[in-house]
Amino acid sequence: MEARERLLETAILAFADSGFEATSVRSIAEAAGVAFQLITYYFGTKDALWSEAVDLVYRRSLERGRSLGFDLAGDLREQFRIHLRVLLSSTIQHPEWGRIITWEYLTQSTRYHKVILPKLRESMELLAKPYFQQVAKLGIVTRFSASEMHALWRGVTAANLTSPDHIAQLSGLPVGSARFIDWQIELIFSVLIRGFGRTINPDGSDPGEDLSIPETPTIDNPAAVPSGHIWGEQYRGLEVAQLQRLRQLEIENEHLKQIVGELVVENRMLQNGRKGSLAGPGQGGAQK
């Protein structure tokens, strides 16, 4: 690589690992194996070097996002699963952009507000927002809006940037391994497509590799709706907000069942009344 390119690549890694304040231009030059004076020659200041490094890593992030698309003749949900895996793998294998964002956000620097935030807004409008809108429009995910899907996905990627070791402890899988990624993709895909999570044993133990999803409660299948003590045991381990949403959905489902039951009774009464009114004249005519 040319000296300038080496400096940029080294700066990206340094700013991602330690943040702007803790990174010196001298350490970047030493790691790149070039003379310290070349930073001044090529970039002028540390701020200018940071800006060019951020621009480069941001453009790479956009390029990876632009590669995703749907073949309408194929299995759309399977393509969606593959996209999620590609995106999460990219986040884990190329975490520099996400880490730089995190550093600047935590310090609430001027760089965050003047440089990072505009890029985040741009990437949302160019990539994330249109992508999840397409997922919703194609009917791939029907249980969440585009904004909800995006928020949920951002939570997953942020967790992999800031606390991958915690996810490794929960999954029992090495950070960055194929199974580590697949475990998370199956979980998030299940939440978005099939249900809120996999079935948990009544005693709260992990069923292992069994990733079956509880049957979605419907009016036609009220037995699938958990209740009382069983409900709490079945969804042990979920966050409070998730439990609250589950409980609200359960209550709404009960209300829907009551409404349907009342409509059925009313419909039967109307049918019986109609039969009675039709039978009356007929019987009278026969007697005459």
Nearest to residue 115, comparing CAs of 128, 133, 137, 100? Answer: 100
Residues 223 and 258 in one domain: yes
Residues 99 and 159 in one domain: yes
| Res. 288: pLDDT tops 70 | no
- Give the per-residue pLDDT at 68: 80
CB 144 within 8 A of CB 133: no
Residue 12 — very low, low, confident or very high, per pLDDT cuts 50/70/90? very high
φ and ψ of 73, to 5 deg: -85, -10
CATH number, domain with residue 190: 1.10.357
- Give the per-residue pLDDT at 116: 92
Residues 131 and 95 in one domain: yes
- Give the per-residue pLDDT at 279: 52
> pTM surpassing 0.95?
no
- Give the per-residue pLDDT at 15: 94
Q: Which residue range is the domain that position 249 belongs to?
A: 215-276
Question: How many CB atoms are located within 10 Å of the residue 270 CB?
Answer: 10
Q: What ranges in the chain are assigned the alpha helix state H?
A: 3-18, 25-32, 37-42, 46-66, 76-93, 96-107, 110-111, 117-123, 129-137, 146-162, 164-171, 178-189, 228-234, 240-287
List pLDDT tens digits, range 88-112: 888 888 889 889 999 999 889 999 9
Last residue of a domain, one of 20, 45, 66: 66
Three-class secondary structure of residue 194 per DSSP: helix
| Res. 8: pLDDT tops 90 | yes
Indicate left, alpha or beta for 198 from its phi (over 0: left) and psi (-120 to 50: alpha).
beta
Nearest to residue 70, comparing CAs of 88, 86, 82? Answer: 82
CATH number, domain with residue 23: 1.10.10.60
Separation of alpha carbons 44 and 211, rounded Å: 54
Separation of alpha carbons 217 and 139, rounded Å: 20
Residues in the chain: 288
| Res. 126: pLDDT tops 60 | yes
Separation of alpha carbons 255 and 286, rounded Å: 47
Residues 258 and 167 in one domain: no
**Angle in degrees, 0-180, between the axes of helices 46-66 and 3-18, rounded to the nearest 10:** 90
Three-class secondary structure of residue 2 per DSSP: coil
Please compute, for residue 194, the number of CA atoms within 13 A of its CA located in the half-sphere on the CB side: 16
Residue 16 — very low, low, confident or very high, per pLDDT cuts 50/70/90? very high
Residue 285 — very low, low, confident or very high, per pLDDT cuts 50/70/90? very low
Residues 77 and 185 in one domain: yes
How many whole angstroms from its chain centre is CA 248? 21
| Res. 284: pLDDT tops 90 | no
